[in-house]
Amino acid sequence: MESCLIADDHALVRDALAMSVETKWPLATIWQADDYPSAWAVAERQPDLCLVDLGMAGSLPREGIAQIRHRAPDTRIVIVTAAQNDALMLALLDDGVAGFIFKSANTAMIAAAIELVLAGGRYLPPRIGEMATFANPLEKSTERLSPRQIEVLRLIGDGETNKEIARTLAISPSTVKAHIAQALAALGAANRTDAAMKARDMGLI
């Protein structure tokens, strides 16, 4: 990752997120914004990632995020929030948001979520993943699984442990766990083995 926008109206939150990003990506350029208009202006620079709070001044949440996507269509957007508005999260997921991180998450979890998103996956709270697949499990499961998650499931099916998968794919074990968590939510699986079996039954691996 070369650049990241962190948008939150609390300076302490911005600084904490910046520290999480700098620890994992020390060479990344980090821009900060404290309201939606400022975030829209920075989005014009096309950052690789946006970490965005929903409750900022200048716009309603969904419209504010839509404006960021309009200005930076290729940027991966992750919502960082303390709220648990399931309906809004599902709507934003349909709008193309790449994930949600709760502000209670620790640094390791934030880094794993960012890695997953930058690899093309989506980082979702388990219940959101379950709700997203409820209406049409087969269709929604396949479109919620990223190519990397399918690759992880294939390696699970081959009998590899999480550490072995991390070495095979040259990613961290925490990122492997994040991929597996998202695959479990997308497939409605009970565990990693069940997820691999479901993926095989669906012809994904």
Reported as a single tens digit per residue, the pLDDT across 126-155 is: 656 555 544 444 444 555 677 888 899 999
Q: Give the mean pLDDT of 165-183.
A: 88
Number of domains in the chain: 2
At 10-31, the pLDDT tens digits run 999 999 999 999 988 999 999 9
Identify the residue with better confidence: 5 or 114: 5
Do 137 and 96 belong together in one domain?
Answer: no
What per-residue confidence (pLDDT) applies to 68?
Answer: 97
pTM: 0.67
At 82-119, the pLDDT tens digits run 877 778 888 888 888 988 888 888 888 888 888 888 87
Do 132 and 181 belong together in one domain?
Answer: yes
* Domain span at 171: 128-201
At 40-68, the pLDDT tens digits run 999 999 999 999 999 999 999 999 999 99
Do 107 and 146 belong together in one domain?
Answer: no
With beta carbons less than 8 A apart as the criterion, state whether 68 and 41 touch: no
Do 23 and 99 belong together in one domain?
Answer: yes
Do 181 and 100 belong together in one domain?
Answer: no
Question: C-alpha angle with apex 40: 35 to 45, nearest 5 degrees?
Answer: 130
What per-residue confidence (pLDDT) applies to 43?
Answer: 97
Do 170 and 186 belong together in one domain?
Answer: yes
